Amino acid sequence: MFSAAVALGLSLGVAAGGAAAAPSAAAPSAAEIAAVSPASVATQVSIIAPLTVPSGSGGLLSAETLTDYTGPSGLLTRQLDAVAGKALTVAIDPLIVASIRVLGTSAPESARGWLERLSLISNEVVPLPYANSDPTLVTQTGREEILGPISFDFALNPANFAAADESETTETQAPMDVGTDVVPPYPTSGELVAWDYAIDGFVRPRSNTVVADDIAVLAAANFSTTVLSSTNVSRDPGAGSVVMIDGMTALIADSAASTAMDEALGSTLDRDVPAAEAELVSSVLAAGASQAAETGSVLITIDHSLELSSARLDTALASLSSSPSITLVPLTTLASATPAAATISDLPQSEARINDVGQLLAATQEERTFFSIAADPEALIAARRLALLDVLGTNAPSDSVDASGDDASADWLATVNSFLADSRDLRAAVTVVESSDFLLLADNSFLPVSVSNALNQPVTVYITVSPRTGLLAVGAQRVELTIEANSQARGNIPVQSLSNGVVDVEISLTSSTGLEIGTRTVSKINVQAGWETLIVLAFAALVVVIFSVGFVRSIVRRRKPVDD
């Protein structure tokens, strides 16, 4: 690991004493390496540090979670403390910004203060994919698209934006004409994730997950600048950190320097930090010296799975700054260099993970079809898209991939299975309520069918009853029924008894387009044709008898003599 540092230490020994001194047990310090760095090699270094939250939120952070994360010692507070005002670029997950803004005036005060503080930092800011999702997981399933949020309207409460809207209203504003489109008093989905990013069209896929075909899909999605690992590209030995691949600008993160930075920041023991920082400096110097230009450029990306420590980050930056040959520069400065030509060295996602994502995409497509019965299907689809992006953002540590290339990450598998289980539950949320057998006595009657709806909005379905024998005729092929959110409703199906006996009937639900909803149920109907007439006749006879008895008793009472 410290080969570069040790090699530099040996060269120092040769220069000083004319012979190679035996390497010491301890690696050279960052200051020692900086002191012997070639003065003629100038290296510009840019660092990208992620600002993210753990997956599992479903695509939006709740007010309670935001309160926890943005409190005095919360996760987001610690991360912002670590990066604010330092010589690095912040790559932020838009999920964080959207989660605060979507709550409007109901957002926790600490969260609103945190967002204001983020807007005031001097760092350049670039975006991560929403929910820190892994974009090439989708492209490598064969879908030529980059998934992002569809809409946040389902999560907006106009009451949380009404006050702000009213405060902006002035007496000079003309009243809205009747019949014109009403502008909602809350921000658009685009405004909820908007930020003053340093580079437009920026995207950072996960390290070492890109194949050549992914570049065209990214370009079609209007991305113009991507970040790739040096092990994921093929370029001339003297090329710098900026290259052009199929018309797209690619910023190449040096794999050795990035790994060294991760180890410096992730060291759990203080005694390991000096050696890790020495390796970091030597990796940067080696990368800069290998480039043909008078001024080399090195991009370092910090792994998104690390929780940034302000103290560790400060010492790592100080180690880099201690070398007279290293200059820390903004990302836009590094990106402004003339690009060299390069190609992708394919490093595809694991086959197991791609198969898992295929199941997720198939489930969401089935959900989309099912949601057509809802009053507002787009709201349900948009919510599930955020949940899917959250799954695609689940960490996949490199040590979770076994020798066969299959992803063995327990977190990933658990998250995928949970999403698929939720998908099945959603598609079973509207169903026929099972009931006991029916007794049908009338020749013409109605068969009551109850349907339950566990969704959070009304749905409209069509009930179809199909007898398996000819004892019963159904008067309507499809009966429309609307069920309110989280409730039950009953539809009455007109039927006619043709003969006595027990009839099995299939009851099914369909959408307006004929899509079958849920699973079919089978109920038994005991048909007793003609019993209605007999019952009516018996009841009429009983009424006649009662009337006759009363009439006779009345006559008898009248004929009875009155006692003096």
- Shared domain for 323 and 216, answered yes or no, is yes
Average pLDDT of 499-512?
85
pTM: 0.83
- Shared domain for 401 and 378, answered yes or no, is yes
pLDDT at 482: 97
Confidence band for 525, pLDDT divided at 50, 70 and 90: confident
Q: Tell me which of 312 and 3 has the higher pLDDT.
A: 312
Q: Which helix (H) or strand (E) holds 400?
A: none
- Which CATH number do you get for residue 118? 3.20.20
Amino acid identity, residue 351?
A: E
124/45 Cα distance (integer angstroms): 14
Q: What is the DSSP string of 358-375?
A: HHHHHHHHHHHHHGGGBS
- Shared domain for 283 and 331, answered yes or no, is yes
Residue 143 tokens read as 């879908």
- Shared domain for 318 and 392, answered yes or no, is no
Residue 72, domain member (yes or no): no
281/83 Cα distance (integer angstroms): 20
Average pLDDT of 504-528?
86
Residue 1, domain member (yes or no): no
pLDDT at 558: 63
388/415 Cα distance (integer angstroms): 10
Residue 62, domain member (yes or no): no
277/353 Cα distance (integer angstroms): 34
- Shared domain for 266 and 397, answered yes or no, is no
Average pLDDT of 454-462?
96
- Shared domain for 480 and 561, answered yes or no, is no
Task: Give the end of a domain, one of 427, 454, 470.
Answer: 427
Q: Is the CB of residue 431 less than 8 Å from the CB of residue 451?
A: yes
Residues 6+ apart with CB under 8 A from 90: 48, 49, 50, 51, 83, 121, 123, 124, 125, 126
Q: Taking 70 as the threshold, does the pLDDT of residue 458 lie above it?
A: yes
- Which CATH number do you get for residue 447? 2.60.40.10
427/518 Cα distance (integer angstroms): 7
Task: Give the end of a domain, one of 386, 401, 427.
Answer: 427
- Shared domain for 240 and 294, answered yes or no, is yes
Q: Is the CB of residue 126 less than 8 Å from the CB of residue 90?
A: yes
Residue 301 tokens read as 């990306």
pLDDT at 13: 36
Mean pLDDT taken over the chain = 84
Q: Tell me which of 428 and 539 has the higher pLDDT.
A: 428
Residue 140, domain member (yes or no): yes
Tally the domains of the chain.
4
Confidence band for 402, pLDDT divided at 50, 70 and 90: very low
Task: Give the end of a domain, one of 399, 427, 455.
Answer: 427
pLDDT at 563: 55
Residue 16, domain member (yes or no): no
DSSP 128: P
Domain boundaries, position 398: 351-427
- Shared domain for 83 and 124, answered yes or no, is yes
pLDDT at 252: 98
Q: Over the stretch 116-143, which tens digit does the pLDDT of each residue have?
A: 999 999 999 999 999 999 999 999 999 9
pLDDT at 399: 38
Residue 312, domain member (yes or no): yes
- Shared domain for 89 and 206, answered yes or no, is yes
DSSP 419: H
Count of CB atoms situated within 10 Å of the CB of 412: 21
Average pLDDT of 40-67?
93
Confidence band for 305, pLDDT divided at 50, 70 and 90: confident
- Percent of the chain whose pLDDT exceeds 70: 78
pLDDT at 545: 58
Residue 168, domain member (yes or no): no
Q: Return the percent helix, strand and coil in the chain, to nearest 5.
A: 40, 20, 35
- Shared domain for 129 and 109, answered yes or no, is yes
Question: In angstroms, how far is CA 28 from the centroid of its own chain?
Answer: 44
For CA atoms 277, 279, 281, 283, give the dihedral sign.
negative
Q: Taking 80 as the threshold, does the pLDDT of residue 181 lie above it?
A: no
Residue 279, domain member (yes or no): yes
- Shared domain for 413 and 449, answered yes or no, is no
pLDDT at 124: 98
- Shared domain for 305 and 381, answered yes or no, is no
